[in-house]
Structure 1
């Protein structure tokens, strides 16, 4: 067995120091091997065989045979290494029986050096290493043979066995030394593959040793039989080479299957990239493999390279068609660069062109086209050819599918991450929003430590006047200034959040007493009461601050914020800047009790009205249903906003009769539409407490039977925050409603920080994108990203997607292009009383639809 490291480090600047260090180590290994060989030769006995001076003919024959056998080698490939096997054992075995150790060393080294340089074109350090290896093999073989064989001139079974043992030992030594070189140059893991290399070489060693023994016996009887021996040796070599090539073909097919299996199931882009580059580098037997992904700008590429020990290096490349040999692959054409192994050019993958290489296009589906390339074929491969191109394209087809999936998954992860971030942070100021503030406050109250936790609610005085008089841009600039001042004033000692509009919140932990919180509140009010210049205008952002401290004013986040809000309104009313919560400030004790009694009476006497806002299919322009909305006009106070009376009903226990009232009116109206020939569905909102009402499914079933409305025509909407706060608490009720056939929808989707894992497992049919993301859709690219992500995720989970808050034609057209299923908003129609809705519905002629919604039916 001859040695061949077959590994050279890449010529890029990042690997040159490693290559130089590896060269020094191989040189030291070569010198050490030669020194040990000579030292062993000095102690080996001659055993009485002919010496160098007495057997010039035998020495010459062995030398010539050693030269000739270097032209007949088989490369056994073990991953990236290459172990060259040949008929070198034939002259080596003959030498054991004819010349002494010194003569064998001389003949084998001289013949091997000449044959390796002549037939295998080796030079420099690689030639020196292989010559030292030949000498070490000859010396070890002579030592083992001398130890096991009988005294000369014996030539029997004992000597035959000794010859086999000597050749196996020499072959094992070659495998070890070649593995050392491969591990130094390219892959320390080559040691794991040493047993495979030894086992694969044993059959060839047995064959060549047997040829030598049989040839020696035959030639001893008739010298002319050496010709027959040569012919037989060549035939055996050709048979072994054919067998090895067939085995390599099978290994190539197995490698392709292994490559496919390695990519299956993985959606991690780094893992898939590492697998792809490692496999194509090994399969194509190249020094370097690279993946070039299109970058954000024209001519920019993200290049991920694997070379050396398999480490990945990523860099940005800016290039064009005239400066990159692989660029045609970016246009869809494979490139075979076979310039010859002219290492004197000093060019590698980091330069304009490698010594040789292949580049193939890699389709990423909708994400464009990447380029996969290999460069600098290993020394046992003359150069890349058409066969390697076909193999590379087959590998690239599998790699493209896996990489396209990882690109899509990475994009969705980014969009989901952005959506989740937007759901927890205020877009304008970057501060935590109300939801995250409440979560962090709740966590602080559950682990209060030893101090007082204070909540401050801050409201800008007369902020609406700034918006109305100077515009929203000035108002936004003022809000940003307030946020910055709060952060600077607290200097990291508290948490600042924006609750919405002109309302901020602060949480302070581990205070000694409420008075300390009040002192901080006054400092914040004084810091705000300083002029700020915006567009040459001087504004003074005065604030009113309400403070509530736990546990004195409450031990729950919602209660503390409610009490801080009460204190804030008291501070605004008294113009005190900052004010601690006091029970007498809570005006709900009188006014809210009166309003609650009036609400109970209005529900009992059916004085609450229900209005209906249409839902439009943007593809067809047809109205497919409506949402039922409760409205209350108080006899003394006039119109009461749902934002006021709905929370009041929830706190007072009136939410169940209110929900049943709206549900009953909505189903009766839906039945009337259906009798009039309008096949519409109706949507009704459920309160958070409704999910814990075990009788709700029975009530819904009874009302459906009474009105004759099909269950599938009723949609019950549950807010996202309700589901995410307790996704399992109301699951039984949801399952029963779903079993009836009622459709279930998540309202205000995007504001409740949904877990996709929980969302996937809920028995829902629809998600409804919150209007806060829809209303600025045409202006804010961040809102567009959130809406696009919500639509894609909804459809991926087989859910219908509804968008509310459509206020203009541009928003409607954008949502139509994105594939949103249903739309509602003031651009389509405001909520209407039942009679007005019926008239509006009848009056929607084709001409009116085309005029109002010019692209809805396109």
Structure 2
């Protein structure tokens, strides 16, 4: 009780005491009084008052408690048989004995009760004797006087107690006041009737006191049984309300907070605490409701694991209670911050969601007329069991919510990068289109695809490819404005939604993203260049439908990939390229099967005497409607559609057939065919090649298979096994475009290679770039040391040819000698002594 409330309480006590004194010194002295026929001892009345105050009936409703007694019976007898001073003395002495000696009341509570008893006795005496006058209590007016006096004292007591509750707690429980008023009025009228009856009988015959006492005892037992039954019914209602309140709570924290509030209300306690503990004793959740304020975890004093374990051990058999001097130190330590008067502990077990143990504490009953008793322990244990079910449900709800949120996140996000996936991006794109339609704002869709992702995957493995995708996701996310979003649509394809932007500004954003992406990144200690093609489509300029907008961004992206330049904005004419690509993909399989894919040959020349020693087979597609289609266009389509293996086999067959024609004419030159990465790791390829050699009868050493570094890195062990089997057949093996991949020297040493082809990127600039010259020289030295022959690609001038010859390069090919020609043209070239052809300015064709 704070100081302000204490002042109000003592003011109320003073008001009651002064009122009693004023009435006693005033009106009471002039009251008429009928002389009783017999004098009853005052101490008998004091004993009666002591007994009625001891055997009171406590009526509880939530946090409030009122006491009902049969004190009206000795009061009514005192009104008729005792003088006013004697009656007041007996009333105060009898009540004081019970309250001080038996109930241990002190201070404000004792002063309040004695002041109220004095005022009630004086007021009842004034009303009773004023109505009865000098008439004996056997007169009919005694009934009216007894009823009026009893009702007045009952109302006075209810008002005074409500005033005391308001003084200490600042509130009045109207429901409690109403229920106490109904029960108190009924009890007062019954007491009045019995009291008048007893008074009348004793007035005429004192011998009847024994059966009257027995009747009073039976009345008390009946009253008490009735009110206890009502209290049990009220407890059941409170238990139902408690279960309903906790069951409506959501997660564990909400359910625990609701539980504590209900515990404080139902058990009328000052504070309640709940702690959820793991099997190892660590506290998962801790809450305390104290003075109507919820304290959580860090708001509470630290608790020791040993204290929690001790409390749990005490509740192994159910709820327990401690009070007064029997409060153990661990309980006091656990409830640090509270001055404990009495405490109850109850266990809560959560086993369905996950095995946790809880301990709930109820501390300090607010009522001063009683402490926690055995019935409270039973009620508390029942509350704990119901709370355990509610908390269990809370844990299950939390788990279900967590799993649902995780599944929802997984359904809408890419597991590798954490970015939104195509599904979620489609939702955002649809919403953006609707917003644009409503308010006219513009936005852009940027679609990008990594150019070198397949090389990284094939060369360094899928784990490194995943790291590259994560790095791209980080760079894109870090480069966007607030409100923009990025998603991974699948594979190495990403989409960016740029809001509130015009087409020109969208291209600026696209340029910035490409600059951010086109920087090397270190993956597992290897520096990898990141290159991306990016297409842009804007709303509403290019489309207002989300699917159409995404499709047009895709068209622009493929145009950027085809042109090899920076970001491309969608334009209607770009659709022609997309339609062409779709048409080629549909017709490529038929073209391969109908042998409409031709083969051209570029001669390989020995530098020492310009003698043609071999030729490289290059695929060509002369489309009947679209004309000549370069390998740089249809080979990527073959790789994307899975036709690259069929294409490789087709070219291999055609090259062997043409080489056999040359051989029949006396020109025993070798023919080189590029084989795909799939063939390199295909377990059946060596057997297929064996059958082909046996069927065609070509000398194995006149066939060279060219493989790239990247094609051997997808499955290294299988590649080594296959190449070893091929070498055992006598077929020559050449590593193409050497110096552009990621293979290590140790790995190359394991391969049965016969030839190294130096990439044209180094050859063309070796005379002007010292670094490239060093690389060429190093590769030649490496080949010589490993016992391999060398072929230089892309030789276009005599100076480069002479420099290569000086460095020890054996064979070269390029426009200096010939462009790719047909098989018959190459035969004519071999027939003539002049085997040189005027170089052309066309770009070097792409070999498969």
Fold agreement, TM-score > 0.5: yes
Say whether the 8 Å CA contact 1:329–1:361 is kept in structure 2.
no
Q: Deviations over 1:374-426 (max 9, x none)?
A: 434735555544x6555555555444444433422321121011111222233
The 8 Å contact of residues 441 and 557 in structure 1, kept in 2 or not, is answered as yes
Match of 1:244 among 221, 224, 227: 227
Aligned partner of 1:411 in structure 2 is 399
| Structure 1 match to 2:846 | none
Q: Partners in 1 of 2:539 and 2:418 — Cα distance?
A: 27
* Alpha-carbon displacement from aligned partner over 1:232-265 (angstroms, at most 9, x marks no partner): 4344323433443444455556665666677778
Q: For residue 527 of structure 1, what is the aligned residue in structure 2?
A: 516
Bigger CA radius of gyration: 2
* Match of residue 446, structure 2, among 436, 452, 456: 456
Q: Which residue of structure 2 aligns with residue 149 of structure 1?
A: 131
Contact map agreement 2:42 2:86 (CA 8 A) in 1? yes
Task: Kindly indicate whether the alpha-carbon contact (under 8 Å) linking 1:164 and 1:209 is maintained by their aligned counterparts in 2.
Answer: yes
280 and 21 in structure 1: CA distance in 2 versus 1, 3 angstrom threshold: same
Q: 2:318 and 2:143 mapped to 1: Cα distance?
A: 55
**1:579-594 counterparts in 2 under 5 A?**
579-586=568-575, 587-593=577-583
Q: 2:479 aligns with which of 482, 489, 512?
A: 489
What whole-Å deviation, never above 9, does each CA across 1:300-328 have from its counterpart, x for those lacking one? 24234455549685678764455544212
- Partner residue in 2 for 1:359: 346
Q: Matched residues in 1 for 2:209 and 2:453: separation?
A: 109
2:320 corresponds to: 336
Residue 506 of structure 2: which of 517, 523, 541 is its match? Answer: 517
How far has the Cα of 1:463 moved from its partner?
3.4
In the superposition, the TM-score normalised over structure 1's length comes to 0.58
Say if 1:268 and 1:406, in contact at 8 Å, map to a contact too: yes
Q: Aligned-pair distance for 1:566?
A: 1.7
The equivalent of 1:215 in structure 2 is 198
Counterpart-to-counterpart distance in 2, 1:22 and 1:347: 26
Work out which of the residue numbers 496, 510, 527 in structure 2 matches 1:506. 496
Q: Structure 2 matches for 1:662-701, cutoff 5 A?
A: none
CA drift of 1:452 comes to 1.6
Structure 1 counterpart of 2:52, from 50, 62, 69: 69
Which ranges in structure 1 are unaligned for 5 or more consecutive residues? 1-17, 602-633, 644-858
Q: SS in structure 1 opposite 2:104?
A: coil
Per-residue CA deviations over 1:326-363 (Å, capped at 9, x if unaligned) read 21268x53253435466899938614998342423435
Seen in structure 2, the aligned counterparts of structure 1 residues 599 and 121 have a Cα distance that, compared at 3 Å, is farther
Q: How far apart are the structure 2 equivalents of 1:412 and 1:329?
A: 33
**Alpha carbons of 1:86 and 1:465: their partners in 2 closer, same or farther (altered >3 Å)?**
same
Q: Is 2:110 the partner of 1:127?
A: yes
Distance 1:149 1:478 in 2: 103
Q: Which residue of 2 aligns with 1:667?
A: none
Change (3 A) 1:493 1:238: closer
Q: After superposition, what is the alpha-carbon deviation per residue over 1:795-843, rounded to whole angstroms, capped at 9, x for unaligned? A: xxxxxxxxxxxxxxxxxxxxxxxxxxxxxxxxxxxxxxxxxxxxxxxxx
CA 372–322 in structure 1, closer or farther in 2 if over 3 Å, else same: closer
Residue of structure 2 equivalent to 1:434: 422
What SS does structure 1 have at the residue aligned with 2:550?
A: helix
Asked if structure 2 preserves the Cα contact closer than 8 Å seen for 1:460 and 1:543, the reply is: yes
Kindly state the Cα deviation for residue 540 of structure 1 after the two structures are TM-superposed. Answer: 5.1
CA-to-aligned-CA distance 1:63-107 (integer Å, 9 cap, x gap): 554334322212122233322111222343345456788886666
Q: Is the 8 A contact 2:279 2:357 kept in 1?
A: no
TM-score, normalization: structure 2?
Answer: 0.59
CA distance in 2, matches of 1:335, 1:158: 55
Residue 375 of structure 1 is matched in structure 2 by 362
- Cα deviation per residue 1:700-745 (whole Å; 9 max; x = unaligned)? xxxxxxxxxxxxxxxxxxxxxxxxxxxxxxxxxxxxxxxxxxxxxx
Partner Cα distance (1:427, 1:39) in 2: 86
- Give the direction of change, closer, same or farther, for the CA distance of 1:258–1:552 in structure 2 (3 Å limit): closer
Q: 1: CA distance between counterparts of 2:377 and 2:446?
A: 69
Q: Secondary structure at the match of 2:110?
A: helix
Q: 2:332 aligns with which of 347, 350, 360?
A: 347
Contact 2:158 2:181 in 1 (8 A): yes
Contact 1:321 1:327 in 2 (8 A): no
Contact 2:40/2:81, CA 8 A, preserved across alignment: no
8 Å Cα contact 2:303-2:334 kept in structure 1: no
Which blocks of at least 5 consecutive residues in structure 2 are unaligned? 592-633, 644-848
Contact 2:162 2:172 in 1 (8 A): no
Partner Cα separation in structure 2 for residue 303 and residue 578 of structure 1: 57
Q: Is residue 546 from structure 1 mapped to residue 528 from structure 2 by the alignment?
A: no
Change (3 A) 1:257 1:207: same
Structure 1 residues 369 and 143: alpha-carbon distance in aligned structure 2, compared to 1, 3 A threshold:
farther
Which one of the candidate residues 175, 178, 200 is aligned to 2:158?
A: 175
Distance 1:582 1:39 in 2: 105
Give the Cα separation in 2 of the matches to 1:542 and 1:232.
Answer: 104
Q: 1:481, 1:81 → 2: CA distance?
A: 66
Return closer, same or farther for 1:48/1:196 CA change in 2, 3 Å cut-off. Answer: closer
Distance 1:501 1:453, change over 3 A: same
Change (3 A) 1:637 1:304: closer
Contact 2:353 2:395 in 1 (8 A): no
Q: 1:505-536: CA deviations, max 9, x gaps?
A: 2222333x311211222223233344555666
Does the CA-based 8 Å contact 1:187-1:308 persist in structure 2?
A: no
**1:225/1:289 CA distance change after superposition, 3 Å:** same
Shift of 1:554: 0.8
CA contact (8 A) 1:341 1:356 kept: no
Alignment partners' CA distance in 2, 1:414 and 1:399 = 22
Does structure 1 residue 568 correspond to structure 2 residue 551? no
Aligned length, in residue pairs: 589
What secondary structure, in the 3-state scheme, does the structure 1 residue paired with 2:31 have? Answer: coil
CA distance in 2, matches of 1:162, 1:240: 23
1:383-782 alignment to 2 at 5 Å?
A: 383-385=372-374, 392-448=380-436, 449-470=439-460, 475-511=465-501, 513-530=502-519, 532=521, 541-586=530-575, 587-593=577-583
Structure 1 pair 477–501 and aligned structure 2 pair: CA distance change class (3 A): same
Q: Is the 8 A contact 1:49 1:99 kept in 2?
A: no
Q: 1:636 to 1:287 in 2, by over 3 A?
A: closer
Structure 2 counterpart SS, 1:208: helix
